[in-house]
Every structure is written in C-alpha cells, then in structure tokens.
Amino acid sequence: MATIISPKQFSPVEDAENIKKACQGWGTDEKAIISILGHRNLFQKKLIRLAFEEIYHEDLLQQLKCELSGDFQRAISLWTLDPADRDALLAYEALQKTTPDCRAIVEIACTGSPEDLLAVKRAYKFRYKRSLEEDLASCTSGDIRKLLVAVTSAYRYDGDEFDETVAHSEASVLHKEIHEKAFNHEEMIRILSTRSKAQLNATFNLYKDIHGRSITKGLLGGPSDDYFSALRTVVRCIRDPKKYYAKVLRTAINMPGTDEDALSRVIITRAEKDLKEIKELYLKRNNVSLDAAVGRDSSGDYKAFLLALLGAE
Amino acid sequence: MATIISPKQFSPVEDAENIKKACQGWGTDEKAIISILGHRNLFQKKLIRLAFEEIYHEDLLQQLKCELSGDFQRAISLWTLDPADRDALLAYEALQKTTPDCRAIVEIACTGSPEDLLAVKRAYKFRYKRSLEEDLASCTSGDIRKLLVAVTSAYRYDGDEFDETVAHSEASVLHKEIHEKAFNHEEMIRILSTRSKAQLNATFNLYKDIHGRSITKGLLGGPSDDYFSALRTVVRCIRDPKKYYAKVLRTAINMPGTDEDALSRVIITRAEKDLKEIKELYLKRNNVSLDAAVGRDSSGDYKAFLLALLGAE
C-alpha cells in the first residue's frame, strides 16, 4: 500500500498557482512546495504539470530545477516525473556512473510487471533515441552484461500457472550451476530471464525444499564478484521485492554518510506502491521505524520531503 | 504494396452468410469461400469473423477447419487470423518441429517494427500461457539459442538517427568476428540484437565500403552450420526483407516437391504488406512471374487461393 497522503479534492490550477507563488520573490518557499507536491498522487501531479504548462507556458520541472538544489531538488524532480519516465531517467543515470549501478537496473527489470518494464523501455527510447538494451550492452561487459541485457529484454508471461516438472528440473539446474560455481552461466541466465515469476517462485521453493537452503543463501556462497551480486539482486527482486527494498534502505541509511541516491530512489519509486509494507518490514528487522531512521539521517527540506512521502505525521 | 484485391464496399453479414451457405449441404463450395476470403483485407476479415460468431454462435475458423483440409485449409486458417495471432501460431509451429525452423522465427523478430514484434509476443502469451522467449530457449540450444532469444527479446529503437562512429567501430567488430570465425559470438549477437535498424544498415554499408564485400557475402564464407545460416537470415531480414522473401519463395518453389509451409507463410504474411514488390523482385531474378511459378507448382483450391492472394487476374 501507498504511504503518501493525498487529498480527495484538489484543484490543479490552484496548486500550480501556489507553486508559482512559492517560486517567486526573494528566496523560494520550499515548505509550500513540499506541502503541495509531497501530498499529490500520480494522477494529481500529472494534472498539476499540465495546468502549470497551460498557465505559465513553462515546464514545472524546469521551474523546480531552477529554484531548488541538491538532494532535495533531485528528489522533487524524480517524484514529479511519470513513473515510466522516472525509471528511464534512473536507468540512464545508473548507466552513466563509472561503475554502472546494477541495482537500479535490476529493480526496473524485475520488480514490476512486463507491461511496466515495457513502458520504461518506451520512455527510454523517447528520451534518449536509443534502446535501453543497447545502452546497457555498451556500458557493461562480460557475464554481468549477459545477465542485465537478458532480464531487461525479457517480456515474461505473467499468469499464475506454472509447471511443476519444469520447476523440479530447473531447481536442479540452478543448484548445479551455483554449486559447481560454473564458469558458464548460460542456463541460469536463461531461466532467470525468460521464466514467469510464478514459475520462478515455484522453482525457488523447490530449490529450498530439496537442498535445505534458499537460493539466495546458496548464491552467497559464490564468489563475491559483481556478477554474483547482480544475480542475487535479480533473485531477490523476483522473490520478495518488499524485503529487498527494506534491505536497500537499511544499507543506504547505515552507510557512513548515507547513500542519498538509493534512499531517494526507493522512497520515491515505492511511495505510491508498497512503501507501507516496506516500512513494516523495516521496523521489524531494525527495531526502529523508517520514519525515525530517515529523520535522524537526513536534514532540512530533503528530510521534510522524504517524511511527507513516508506519510509521517 | 499489397497484392490482394478487396472491394471498397462489402457486408460482413452477407459474407458470413455466404460462407455458411458454402459449408452446408453435400460437399463444400471451396470456390465461394475463396471468392470471399481471398478478397478481403485485415479489417474486413475481422468483421466477418465477428458477424459469423454473432449469427451462428460458432467460430469461423473452427467451421473452416471442419470443412476444408490439407494445405488449403491451413492457408485459409492462417489468412483468416489476425496478423499478430498468426505470427504467434507460426512461431509456435516453427518451434514444435524436430529441428526448429529458424527462418520463421527470425522473420517475425526482424522484419517488422518493434511494436509488431511486441504484439506477437503478447498474442503468444495469450495463446500458450508462456512467453515466446521461454519456449524458444527451451527448444533450442547453443549459439543459435543465444541469437534467437536475443533478437526475439529485442525492443529496438526505431528512429532514423544513427551514429557514424558506432557504425565504424561495429563494422570492424563484425568483420573481426566473421573473419576470425570466432568461437564466441557475443559481440555480434549484441550488435545485431540491440541496435536499431537504421544503425545496423549504416554499419552494414560501412562494412561493405571498408571490406569490399557485403556482410552477407562475408557470412557465406563461414562454417555452413545452422548458427551461421540463422545469422545470415537475421542480417538479410534487417537489410532487405523484400529481397529475402523473394529468395525464400524461390527456394520453396524450386525444392523437389515444393515447400508448401514456406510458400504459404510468405504469401499469406506479406499479401497485405509488400508482396507486390516481392513479386517484382521475383520476376527480375527468375525470368518468370511468381503467379506463373505458383500456378505451375501447386494445384486445386490451394493454387486458386494463393493466386487470389497474389492478385492474379
């Protein structure tokens, strides 16, 4: 469930006017901006952008970029974008880093539905005039490239049916490749990138039944290289995205200096989806609420904005 | 351009009734069925199916399957299906063969637009409750699997822009892999499956400029195994689909006994697209018109139906 609290009744025109007002004169009224955009859902934000464009002949995002700065500006901009467009931007940024950020890519490829992924790929083509797969393939290499291109290209079946026999045989294949620390990961990549999530979850369950420990534990025993780490991310994003995200938040917050990129990414991309459950998992595992942890680890407008998205009182 | 001749004005209800009439009583009136369905376009066929369902509470395709037989029945059924659904069926059938028919798969993956391919993958999931990529990966193996899964998964950029520098460097990469008969075809598969067609055509042109012969000629020098043959099909479907289809027809007709599967597939899938140009290329290369060649090589209702699709007088 979503965490953001948005009003049932609202006026896009009034919101657009109030944001404009907050941007005018000496200094910017960040609080006003947070009180509006931090409490509007997907559809409402879209209408505000349209109204803003209509009234001022200016793009709301451009305006916000000029007025705000730092982590706060980045978070507000990401939040204001349409989800597919936002993911396209996140994927692009992840690829531009010196070492591409596999987590952001795998999250996009493996946590949503096939149609969600497709919408991101469409948005990416529209933004960058190249396909996501093509840029991925240029920016990465070796086994990790094979894995990332495969999961991003996938257009999985998304029904609930699965084949028990396939689950049995592929659980063995996965175990064999992990156990033998195989150099050639072809079968593993094929299975993880083409099978439906229902099928994969059946396979993962059988893996645990037969071998006595989960596949994610099995992968932990592998070499600690980037490929195995990306592989674990794929499995975790398919198996239990909420638990995965709670862990990403924990790592981001516990890192010396806080990983703001990851913190913003998870809160912003999940606030309208399942952030409520992620918060519950976080509390259970860390003995501290996510609101309190974010409140302690961030500051200023950035903190106020994240707390608004978290639905903190 | 299309070859089929369809009337501007038509009544789906009348057509449905006349087809029903042709199916009733002793024997079936195949000529009547050809005179109707052989002269209706995509949209008209859809309306006839709807009208038939509405009036008789029966699926037109089921009815035709009961009444007709052999190559003629298969051709009429394929023709009556929606293009994406038809391609999904063709892909499925291609994979069910003892040796999967790579040509049918590559045609679907590489001759249409990214959206066409997507529609086929959607139809496939709807029909078979699995993804096309997943079945492809189960039915093939080795390098050919890598190639087919990659081109089928692709969601290419489809704009006209291309990068000259990329074309230069990737033309060299392709030449190196072909020339050295590399065992590892990773780069070649990456380039052919992720780059846009505009980019690939620029790369193929530079390949020819620099190395003095086309990439398809270059590939001919490779080992005569299935992988290289599939690779050539990919390049030819991207570079010049019409020329490719003309060649498939030539091979199908010149084969002892005729390859009816290929003959039907090309005529049916292209009749509303570019069969006119394919016919011109055929005539130019073979000194005989495609109509005459088909007339000589097939017979009965099957022949009459193909000639109707070919727009023969």
Pick the CATH number of A12-68 from 1.20.1740.10, 1.10.220.10, 3.40.640.10, 3.60.20.10: 1.10.220.10
Cβ contact, residue pair B134, A159, below 8 Å: no
Give the residue-averaged pLDDT of B74-99. 96
- pLDDT per position as a tens digit, A190-200: 999 999 999 99
Cβ contact, residue pair A153, B156, below 8 Å: no
- pLDDT per position as a tens digit, A265-279: 999 999 999 999 999
Q: What ipTM did this prediction achieve?
A: 0.70
CATH 1.10.220.10 for domain A164-224+232-239, yes or no, is yes
Kindly indicate the confidence band of residue B31, based on its pLDDT and cuts at 50, 70 and 90: very high
- pLDDT per position as a tens digit, B143-171: 899 999 999 998 999 999 999 999 999 99
Distance in Å, alpha carbon of A2 to nearest chain B alpha carbon:
29
Cβ contact, residue pair A157, B194, below 8 Å: no
Class assignment of domain A241-309? mainly alpha
pLDDT value at residue B182: 61
Superfamily of domain B164-239: Annexin (1.10.220.10)
User: A26: Cβ–Cβ under 8 A, 6 or more apart, which residues?
Assistant: none
Class assignment of domain A83-153? mainly alpha
DSSP summary character for residue A256: T
Cβ contact, residue pair A154, B161, below 8 Å: no
State how far the alpha carbon of A278 is from the alpha carbons of A211, A252, A254, B162, B167, in Å: 29, 14, 17, 43, 46
Kindly tell me if the per-residue pLDDT of A184 is higher than 70. no
Kindly indicate the confidence band of residue B27, based on its pLDDT and cuts at 50, 70 and 90: confident
Q: How large a percentage of chain A has pLDDT more than 70?
A: 98
Kindly tell me if the per-residue pLDDT of B175 is higher than 60. yes
Kindly indicate the confidence band of residue B221, based on its pLDDT and cuts at 50, 70 and 90: confident
Of residues B257, B250, B268, B249, the one with CA closest to residue B298: B257
- pLDDT per position as a tens digit, A96-107: 999 899 999 999
Give the residue-averaged pLDDT of B89-112. 95
Pick the CATH number of B90-153 from 3.30.230.70, 2.40.160.40, 1.10.220.10, 1.20.1050.10: 1.10.220.10
- pLDDT per position as a tens digit, A68-96: 999 999 999 999 999 999 999 999 999 99
Give the residue-averaged pLDDT of A174-190. 82
Residue of B134, B159, B193 with shortest CB distance to A194: B134
pLDDT value at residue B290: 96
Kindly tell me if the per-residue pLDDT of B76 is higher than 70. yes
DSSP letters along B224-271, please?
Answer: -SHHHHHHHHHHHHHH-HHHHHHHHHHHHHHSTT--HHHHHHHHHHHT
DSSP summary character for residue B26: S
Residues 270-289 of B with CB under 8 A from A: none
Q: Does B148 touch chain A (CB under 8 A)?
A: no
Kindly tell me if the per-residue pLDDT of B219 is higher than 90. no
Residue type at A140?
A: T
Determine whether the annotation assigns residue B4 to a binding site.
no
- Mean pLDDT, rounded, of chain B: 93
CB contact at 8 A, B148 and B136: yes
Q: Which two tokens stand for residue A248?
A: 């990403």
Give the residue-averaged pLDDT of B225-240. 92
Within 8 A of A141 by CB-CB distance, chain B residues are none
- Mean pLDDT, rounded, of chain A: 93
Kindly indicate the confidence band of residue A254, based on its pLDDT and cuts at 50, 70 and 90: very high
Domain B12-68 and domain B90-153, same fold? Reply is yes
pLDDT value at residue B135: 95
- pLDDT per position as a tens digit, B258-301: 999 999 999 999 999 999 999 999 998 898 999 999 999 999 99
Within 8 A of A155 by CB-CB distance, chain B residues are 118, 121, 125, 131-133, 153, 155
CB contact at 8 A, A64 and A80: yes
How far apart are alpha carbons B268 and B307 in whole angstroms?
Answer: 11
Which residue out of B138, B158, B194 would a mutagenesis test of the A interface target, given it has the greatest number of A Cβ atoms within 10 Å?
A: B194
Distance in Å, alpha carbon of B186 to nearest chain A alpha carbon:
9
Residue type at A221?
A: G
CATH architecture of B242-309: Orthogonal Bundle (1.10)
How far apart are alpha carbons A130 and A310 in whole angstroms?
Answer: 35
Give the residue-averaged pLDDT of A210-221. 88
State how far the alpha carbon of B135 is from the alpha carbons of A120, A133, A195, B128, in Å: 25, 21, 9, 10
The mean-pLDDT minimum among B21-35, B71-85, B169-183 falls in B169-183
How far apart are alpha carbons A114 and A116 in whole angstroms?
Answer: 5
Cβ contact, residue pair B194, A161, below 8 Å: no
- pLDDT per position as a tens digit, A51-63: 999 999 999 999 9
Kindly tell me if the per-residue pLDDT of B184 is higher than 80. no
- A184 burial type by CB count under 10 A (0-12 exposed, 13-18 middle, 19+ buried): exposed
CB contact at 8 A, A128 and A135: yes
How far apart are alpha carbons A200 and A188 in whole angstroms?
Answer: 11
pLDDT value at residue A136: 95
Within 8 A of A154 by CB-CB distance, chain B residues are 131, 133, 153
CB contact at 8 A, A263 and A247: no
How far apart are alpha carbons B300 and B304 in whole angstroms?
Answer: 6
| SS3 of residue A255 by DSSP | coil
- Rounded to 5 degrees, φ, ψ at B160 are -90, -15
Domain range annotation of chain B: 12-68, 90-153, 164-239, 242-309
Kindly tell me if the per-residue pLDDT of A183 is higher than 70. no
